[in-house]
């Protein structure tokens, strides 16, 4: 019976994970239809703004653009293009993920990036609160344009800029050739539902096995 109860407990855990992921996915999808929140001179609350539409007005700092390596789109290797936007009327900046660009055939070469406007721009996107820790095989001491991952603290130290605690995933269409496909294809809940079913079946099998064993033990006594 211990095996049966253990399998049920694991199944319940997987079911709970499935429900959590589905609820999070539904919340993100629902938030996409909210009115954009203006990001201005005051520091925003990253936890509140995370996954919500947002917009910022200011000027691009193209010379501080970096490329985040190992980003794959439809099976093609490439980069995410990160450019800071200095918010109008302030010294505060917000990092904008402008989208994906394919890598050249020769990995020693860098892609030619589309130019940005020098005049004031309004950028619309989805606010993203980056996680504080990432998995690294080795410390990323990148000082050039190509980074292995994006960390706000590292970018702040490298650039000398004061940053909002979020990244803006740009969604407005500017016809610059960059790919902006930020929507998850699914919630990921189906995988956990599958695990839950497997464990519930295992619990049923354990219960059935225990019942058969109990009946077998009774036969000699009878």
pLDDT digits (tens, 9 = 90+) for 149-188: 899 999 999 999 999 999 999 998 888 889 998 876 555 6
Residue 207: predicted pLDDT? 75
Contact 78, 72 (CB under 8 A): yes
Look up the pTM and report it: 0.70
Q: What percentage of residues in the chain have a pLDDT greater than 90?
A: 41
Mean pLDDT for the chain overall: 82
Q: How many C-beta atoms surround the C-beta of residue 80 within 10 A?
A: 23
Rounded to whole angstroms, the Cα distance separating 12 from 3 reads 14
Name, in order, each residue with C-beta under 8 angstroms of 152's C-beta and a sequence gap of 6 or more: 95, 130, 163, 165, 167
The residue that leads in pLDDT, 141 or 50, is 50
Rounded to whole angstroms, the Cα distance separating 173 from 151 reads 26
Select from 37, 21, 17 the least CA-distant residue to 29. Answer: 21
The residue that leads in pLDDT, 206 or 87, is 87
Q: Identify the top-confidence range among 75-79, 83-87, 131-135.
A: 83-87
Residue 39: predicted pLDDT? 93
Rounded to whole angstroms, the Cα distance separating 185 from 148 reads 24
pLDDT in tens, 21-59: 666 666 666 656 668 889 998 999 998 888 889 999 999
| pLDDT exceeds cutoff 60 at 133 | no
Rounded to whole angstroms, the Cα distance separating 83 from 67 reads 9
| pLDDT exceeds cutoff 50 at 137 | no
| pLDDT exceeds cutoff 90 at 64 | yes
Residue 175: predicted pLDDT? 86
Q: Which residues pair with 162 in a beta bridge?
A: 92
Rounded to whole angstroms, the Cα distance separating 164 from 41 reads 9
Residue 136: predicted pLDDT? 45
| pLDDT exceeds cutoff 80 at 74 | yes
Q: How many C-beta atoms surround the C-beta of residue 1 within 10 A?
A: 10
Residue 29: predicted pLDDT? 61
Residue 134: predicted pLDDT? 43
- Per-residue pLDDT, averaged over 89-111, amounts to 91
| pLDDT exceeds cutoff 60 at 221 | no
């Amino acid at each position: 019976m211990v095996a049966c109860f253990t399998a049920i407990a694991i199944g319940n855990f997987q079911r709970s994970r499935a429900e959590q992921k589905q609820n999070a996915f539904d919340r993100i999808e629902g938030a996409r239809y909210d009115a954009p929140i203006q990001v201005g001179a005051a520091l925003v609350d990253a936890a509140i703004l995370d996954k919500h539409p947002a917009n910022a007005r200011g000027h691009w700092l193209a010379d501080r653009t970096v490329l985040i390596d190992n980003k794959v789109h439809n099976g093609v290797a490439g980069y995410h293009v990160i450019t800071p936007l200095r918010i109008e009327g302030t010294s505060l900046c917000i990092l904008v993920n402008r989208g994906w660009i394919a890598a050249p055939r020769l990995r020693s070469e860098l892609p030619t990036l589309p130019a940005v406007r020098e005049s004031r721009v309004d950028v619309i996107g989805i606010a993203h609160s980056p996680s504080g820790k990432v998995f690294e095989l080795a410390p990323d001491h990148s000082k050039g344009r190509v980074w292995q991952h994006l960390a706000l603290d590292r970018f702040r130290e490298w650039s000398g800029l004061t940053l909002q605690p979020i990244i803006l995933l740009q969604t407005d269409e500017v016809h610059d050739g960059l790919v902006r496909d930020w929507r998850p294809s699914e919630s990921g809940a189906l995988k956990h539902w599958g695990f839950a079913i497997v464990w519930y079946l295992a619990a049923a099998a354990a219960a059935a096995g225990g019942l058969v064993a109990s009946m077998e033990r009774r036969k000699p006594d009878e």
